[in-house]
Structure 1
Amino acid sequence: MDHINQKPQGNAPEPVPRASSDPLLVTKFLPPTLSHELIARPRLLALLNAGLHRRLVFISAAAGFGKTTLLASWVRSLASGHHLPAAWVSLDAGDNAPVQFWTYVLTALEQCQPGLSPLPVASLSEIPQPSWQAVLTALVNNLARQREHLVLVLDNYEEMTEPTIHAQLAFLLEHLPPTLCVVVATQTGSPFSLARLRAQAQIQELRTKQLRASREEITTFLCNVMDLRLTEQETREVDVRLQGWWAGIRLAALSLEGGAHPSELLQARQGTQPELFAYLVQEVLNRQKEQVQRFLLRTSILPCLCNSLCDTVLEQHDSQFFLEEVERANLFLNPLDEQRQWYAYCPFWASVLRARLEQTSPTEVPLLHLRASQWYAAQQMRSNAIQSALHAHDWLWAALQMEQIPAQRLFFLKYAQLPSWIEQLPREVVRERPRLCLAYARSLFWVAHPGITESWVHDARSAWTRAQRREEQAASTRGVHEPETPASLLGEIAALQAAIASFYHGDPGATRAFCQEALSHLDEQQRILRCHITLAQAQANFSQGYFARSTQKMQEEWSQIKAEDDRVLEGAYLYVVIQEMILMGNLHQAWQLCEQALHALQTLEGDQSTWLCWHYASQASLLHEWNQLEEAQYLAEQAIELGEQAEVLAFLPLAYTILMRIALSQERLEEAQKAFQQLDYAWRVMPSPYRTAIWSSVDQMRLWLAGGHLEQARHWVRDLEQKDPLVSPLARERQQVACVRLLLAEAQPDQALTLLNPLVKQATVTQRWNHVLEMWLLQTQAYQMLQRQQDVLSLLSQAVHLGAPEGYIRHFVDEGALIADLLSQLRQQNPRMEDLPYLETLLGAFNQQPILQPTDRKKEPSLSPQPLLDPLTTREHEVLHLLARGASNQEIAEALVVVAGTVKHHITHILNKLEATNRTQAVVRARALGLLSQGE
């Protein structure tokens, strides 16, 4: 099939001006214009007006009950009678991703009230994956400063099935100021809890009961609008049979208008409402001219219609005539703009038309989608072109369209659905395209099992090699065209492999080899990628415990990063430097860098990226060390919320470790155990032995020892001894420090010192004073067990002197009463020591510790979790068990032999029933409810 972009036929309507080449559709911001006057419904308009001073107006009813028509009429009445601006968004399946959804919402609000959007609308499409938590917080603050009231209408919300969108909208509703009323219209129930809004009287609900047409409205519609004269008995039959269902009433009226007798019509089908609907559709369709029927069926695949698009899809030149004809016939075609350039079918009508098309002409459907895709491509509407190509199952054309996206724009806002598009392609198609393999691997870096990411990078390299061979064989016929597999693409692949080797494996040798390969292939102009390579090299040095090597190189490139104004890269650079500063013991400098990073990321003109969660976690860790536990916990929870909403799964183990550490410092063992369960699940989803050792090994040992679970700790050590040692010296050190803590708990000080002494020496050489301080305190406890009192006080004095300038507290206090007693002895022996004020601060922190006896813990009541009001189905139980094992959507789909979309549907229902906003919360709650075993 010839995949050549066709030239647009006629003049296509103007889209919303954008900074990108893939514009937003202006028609989605406009309430539908009714082709024919319908009856007034003052009782419903009064209910909607009553909801204006509440946060949410929720309208829920099946297709065909007049939700959109009612809202369109209401919005126009607001503009004329109340002078109240309303932002309108007509949602569709293409908006089922947070970035796309919020782009349309923010653009609608900005058009309605300039300056309201926290991000500049003109550059929305140029911003890589923002942190919507921060964006929504800024939006709430902007709304709170507004004096004018505003309405936001989200029509067709049933198209949104992504749990993240539901959680984000629930967050917005919970914090809305009184200046905004959100209206949600959907064919389904609420995907998020409405209980709190109901309790606060902050919701106005309209359900099927309110939307049904009354007897009087039916009579008025049939008589005044359709000019039909039915007897009172016949009108009653229509009412009884159709139960106030507007779609059925309108279809019945069209059938009656065509000559059908009321009694025959209503007695023709005595089955269910869908059966009657299908019958009525057939009655209406069959009465149309053959050319009109053909037009209706074949254009039903289009979410929006215009003359040029329809001409292309139908391969004709008179579509404008049919658009006008269908509109005049009141066949559920509504204009979307005042100029009547764009139209859309009513959703219920379009769905039945599509079903009928599938029945009558199934082989023609892919071809229609392909023609639409080619029209979209000619209009530079890349996203629509890709989606239509996927509907056409023309995988090669769809892949070609994806490859047309410039590499530097692949992860910008408007292409956030790229991973889901690639998932719909057969893997054998993607595996032959190195750019798509690489793009997909990049999208998975933070959110998928590292092995899966590596598999796709390997596929990218293999595809590049095969393509390179093909190009070499065809070199004589290629002419001067740019090669499809330039060497720089191989450099990009190697750069990503370097990032994986450094971050997930802590393998300095492999990292440096990949970095060297990448630098040998990248162009000089690819400055940002070169900065990413420097980051990978810094991570490699970090895994060895050496920081001086990378600090100078990063400082040299800092000016380049600032010049590029890449806020994400700036945040990443600062995070690496902050971690180095913390390990080097420069806590105050680390805090200042955190503030600098947060300021850069939160600047409205720049990107508000998912790197925020990493810096919140760093601040939480610093506040914990300074004994500001409540503030630390708040920031840790904020970091987790950001990480979960943005689905940065690679980050969550770090945040849950910090949360567990804070709970241990507060001696809240149940809270610490809960955080550990979440941590354990997070590591199963994103396994990385290197990161587990670096982040969690010491704190999980402290939890086992605090809870008296010595056998569990011993089992961990035995298991560690049977495994091959990790490549990273720093990771091996953290594991050995965890082992030292067990040895001290078992009163084996000699063995503990044997392990500790070389570790202390190496940490001192590399100036990792944070670790040195921890190990000195462990050595102090070992010396005390051996009654080496002089060594005890000498080493403890050094520890105090080391900790004083940066204000270390929890390093000392978390070691318990023994260190407190020894510090008291140190103060008595050296009453005039240089660090006496700091020593007094430390002793004061010990005195503030909560006293929680083991017997008190046993007396604490155990609250039994409440059973689910809506139990999980058998299939949902299967999905839940796979979720608990850390399976991805695709892996669940393959295990259950279903499509990925079905898996998303099941997960949405599971989250709703468990009152969870993400997978981790769902698994933890399911385990508490006994739906999962503790081992799952």
Structure 2
Amino acid sequence: MLLTKLHIPTLADNLVYRRQLFDKLNEGLSRKLILVSAPAGYGKTTVLTQWIQKNDIPTTWFSIDARDNHPNDFFTFLITSIQTVEENVGKKSLELLKLPGAVGLDYIIELLINDLLKIEKDLLLVLDDFHLINNQQIFKNLSFLLEFKPKHFHVAILTRSDPSLPISRLRSQNELIEIRSSDLSFSENDISELFNKKLDLDIDSKDIKLLEAKIEGWIAGLQLVAVTIQGKKNKSKFIAKLAGDNRYIMDYLIEEVLDIHDKKMRRFLLFTSILEKLNGSLCDAILQIDKSQLLLESLEKNNTFIIPLDNEREWYRYHHLFADLLRKRLIVQHKAEVLELHKRASIWFEKNDIPLLAIEHSLAAEDKEGAMLKINNIIDHLRETSQIATILKFGSLFSEEEIISNKNFGINYAWSLIVSGDLKTGQNYLHQLENGTADKKLLGRIYETYNLLKVFSGDVEAAFDYSQLAINYISDKDIIWKSWAYISNGESHLLRFELDQCIQSLQKASENATKLNNPNLQLVADSNTAYALRLAGRYREAYEICKNLLDTF
């Protein structure tokens, strides 16, 4: 887990005070949702951070990225962010999120709401970059949280586009405060305060008016103008040259920003733009230099669109727009070096035990073989923690032939397809994998996955046969897969109402779960055992198991 995603952003110096926006945000504390929706570069994150600091509001922050689109991942980060302020909130919910499929997500959110009710003070949750979420289950569960949250728990969403939440209903119920680009845009007075009072650039009122007309209050564009105009003798001439829409203005200004810096710093900016998050050691690795930390601190000091992600100034990121523009320039000017930069980044992330980013950079380096090796190192963990979206994403990046040739990944990919409802494609992969291997361990895993397929398709007898095959083929040393095979076998016996055999298989799975200290296995095995014992009339034993589960979970 990248804990930098949970840090409240650090504010730069020379910020303009936005009284009207702060008053509007204050109103949001009496509504169910604060929605700050505007395109990139309008200062959404900055204005909210300013307001939080001004009012000293207890705040939890979650900076979202595209990898957070699985409900378990999303709500794990959300609850962990809350625990940075209220450490006892969501403990049970977080434990259950580690047990994918054990209970419904609705129940987990209900437990979270009950914990939030126990808090006596105001608490604000900020979801930044929410436009990166496209999972309907997340929208559904977050809507439920908004509907039933306690009044002292406040939610602010920062996004480039309106989310698939009940916005219209909240608006009609007067439970929504909206801040749009028209609210965030700098007025002439704001531009004058930034350029003349904060930055002491001595821009006359005519040029301020011209800037407002050309850039239309777009803060990122104004910041770039401020960076590039310093030291220019004829500021009015420079402002007059600005023309076209925001895209052309940004293209022009980025060249100006790069021209301000020497060759060494320009190279640093362009080469490190391949990174979502950067620190000194990582930058040293990809540029093969030292003292990158000093360069990062220099960029921050000079307000060059770099944002610290922690209080220690270890991790940074570039402003999103600035990073996009730098990457475009990198492709134009240094295309031949891009693959090597990604390769070096992948090596650094692997050495520093950040495997998902190591894999992403291997793929960006067009090293699919190296990426697959890294994936195989973590694939069982991804499956065991039900990171289905991640497995499916990786699978989509490889050809069918490449997946079949990497059999353990292929089995886990087939499992993910089946769990996500794509039974036909999952069956196709299983058929090819079964025909292409004689390895007993892999065959056992294939049969266990076939069991899942047959359960989902309603073929009870075939599911039972495959569960038997899985038990026979999977070694006792492959303890996690063996445990799931016992659970599958127990469930198959249950469907045949063979209760004694069912209980025996499930108890073997429970014993393995205890040895492994695996709460997910323990919960599934023991809850199924208790159900079978109740059906068999062994109520006291069923009660004791359920009591232990309640005490544990």
TM-score, normalised to structure 1's length?
A: 0.54
The amino acid that maps onto 2:421 is A
- The structural deviation recorded for 1:87 is 0.5
Equivalent in 40, 61, 86 of residue 63 of structure 1: 40
Indicate yes or no: 2:466 matched with 1:493: no
Equivalent in 263, 278, 284 of residue 311 of structure 1: 284
Residues 396 and 429, structure 1, Cα contact 8 Å, conserved in 2: no
- Superposed CA deviations along residues 700-733 of structure 1, whole A, max 9, x for unmatched, are xxxxxxxxxxxxxxxxxxxxxxxxxxxxxxxxxx
SS at match of 2:271: helix
Indicate yes or no: 2:157 matched with 1:184: yes
Q: Which residue of 1 aligns with 2:457?
A: 504
Q: Which residue of 1 aligns with 2:473?
A: 521
- The structural deviation recorded for 1:568 is 5.4
SS at match of 1:404: helix
Residues 502 and 539, structure 1, Cα contact 8 Å, conserved in 2: no
Alignment map for 1:423-438 (pairs within 5 Å): 423-438=396-411
- Superposed CA deviations along residues 873-920 of structure 1, whole A, max 9, x for unmatched, are xxxxxxxxxxxxxxxxxxxxxxxxxxxxxxxxxxxxxxxxxxxxxxxx
Cα distance in 2, alignment partners of residues 206 and 212 from structure 1: 11
Change (3 A) 1:341 1:502: closer
Alignment map for 1:639-788 (pairs within 5 Å): none
Cα distance in 2, alignment partners of residues 125 and 570 from structure 1: 12
- Superposed CA deviations along residues 299-327 of structure 1, whole A, max 9, x for unmatched, are 11211110000011112213123212322
The amino acid that maps onto 2:310 is D
Change (3 A) 1:78 1:428: farther
The amino acid that maps onto 1:101 is F
Cα distance in 1, alignment partners of residues 291 and 369 from structure 2: 31
Q: Which residue of 2 aligns with 1:11?
A: none
Change (3 A) 1:372 1:592: farther
Q: Which residue of 2 aligns with 1:300?
A: 273
Equivalent in 355, 359, 363 of residue 386 of structure 1: 359
Unaligned runs of 5+ in 2: none
Task: State the identity %.
Answer: 27
Cα distance in 2, alignment partners of residues 402 and 252 from structure 1: 44
Cα distance in 2, alignment partners of residues 286 and 65 from structure 1: 24
Cα distance in 1, alignment partners of residues 530 and 443 from structure 2: 28
TM-score, normalised to structure 2's length?
A: 0.89
The count of aligned residue pairs is 550
Say which one has the larger Rg.
1
Residues 100 and 413, structure 1, Cα contact 8 Å, conserved in 2: no
Equivalent in 553, 556, 581 of residue 504 of structure 2: 553
Cα distance in 2, alignment partners of residues 332 and 356 from structure 1: 16
Change (3 A) 1:201 1:437: same
Cα distance in 1, alignment partners of residues 455 and 77 from structure 2: 37
The amino acid that maps onto 2:453 is I
Equivalent in 441, 459, 471 of residue 414 of structure 2: 441
Unaligned runs of 5+ in 1: 1-23, 469-486, 607-936
Cα distance in 2, alignment partners of residues 213 and 282 from structure 1: 23
Equivalent in 1, 5, 11 of residue 34 of structure 1: 11
- The structural deviation recorded for 1:109 is 0.3
- The structural deviation recorded for 1:536 is 4.0
Cα distance in 2, alignment partners of residues 31 and 538 from structure 1: 48
Q: Which residue of 2 aligns with 1:233?
A: 206
Change (3 A) 1:599 1:97: farther
Residues 213 and 246, structure 1, Cα contact 8 Å, conserved in 2: yes
Cα distance in 2, alignment partners of residues 375 and 599 from structure 1: 47
- The structural deviation recorded for 1:136 is 1.1
Alignment map for 1:315-354 (pairs within 5 Å): 315-354=288-327
- The structural deviation recorded for 1:188 is 1.2
- The structural deviation recorded for 1:135 is 1.6
Alignment map for 1:816-835 (pairs within 5 Å): none
Indicate yes or no: 2:510 matched with 1:533: no
The amino acid that maps onto 2:504 is K
SS at match of 1:119: helix
Residues 31 and 72, structure 1, Cα contact 8 Å, conserved in 2: yes
- The structural deviation recorded for 1:114 is 1.4
- The structural deviation recorded for 1:157 is 1.3
Change (3 A) 1:253 1:411: same
- Superposed CA deviations along residues 246-298 of structure 1, whole A, max 9, x for unmatched, are 11111112222141744433443432221112211122223321221111111
Residues 433 and 464, structure 1, Cα contact 8 Å, conserved in 2: no
Cα distance in 2, alignment partners of residues 408 and 421 from structure 1: 14
Change (3 A) 1:187 1:421: same
Q: Which residue of 1 aligns with 2:343?
A: 370
CA RMSD of aligned residues (A): 3.2
- Superposed CA deviations along residues 846-896 of structure 1, whole A, max 9, x for unmatched, are xxxxxxxxxxxxxxxxxxxxxxxxxxxxxxxxxxxxxxxxxxxxxxxxxxx
Q: Which residue of 2 aligns with 1:818?
A: none
Equivalent in 121, 127, 145 of residue 118 of structure 2: 145
Q: Which residue of 2 aligns with 1:358?
A: 331
SS at match of 1:431: helix
The more displaced of 297-306 and 45-54 is: 45-54
Q: Which residue of 1 aligns with 2:394?
A: 421
SS at match of 2:405: coil
Change (3 A) 1:493 1:269: same
Change (3 A) 1:596 1:328: same
Change (3 A) 1:358 1:464: farther
Cα distance in 2, alignment partners of residues 197 and 590 from structure 1: 50
- Superposed CA deviations along residues 522-565 of structure 1, whole A, max 9, x for unmatched, are 2224455444334444555567x553573453475475377466
Equivalent in 248, 254, 258 of residue 281 of structure 1: 254
Moved runs in structure 1, 4+ residues, more than 6 A? 579-582, 589-601
Equivalent in 182, 200, 218 of residue 245 of structure 1: 218
Cα distance in 1, alignment partners of residues 396 and 546 from structure 2: 34
Residues 578 and 593, structure 1, Cα contact 8 Å, conserved in 2: no
Alignment map for 1:625-644 (pairs within 5 Å): none
Cα distance in 1, alignment partners of residues 505 and 236 from structure 2: 83
- The structural deviation recorded for 1:238 is 0.8
Equivalent in 124, 128, 144 of residue 171 of structure 1: 144
The more displaced of 45-54 and 356-365 is: 356-365
Cα distance in 1, alignment partners of residues 363 and 41 from structure 2: 28
Q: Which residue of 2 aligns with 1:88?
A: 61
- Superposed CA deviations along residues 479-499 of structure 1, whole A, max 9, x for unmatched, are xxxxxxxx4333222222244
Residues 35 and 335, structure 1, Cα contact 8 Å, conserved in 2: no
Change (3 A) 1:389 1:604: farther
SS at match of 1:244: coil
Residues 433 and 460, structure 1, Cα contact 8 Å, conserved in 2: no
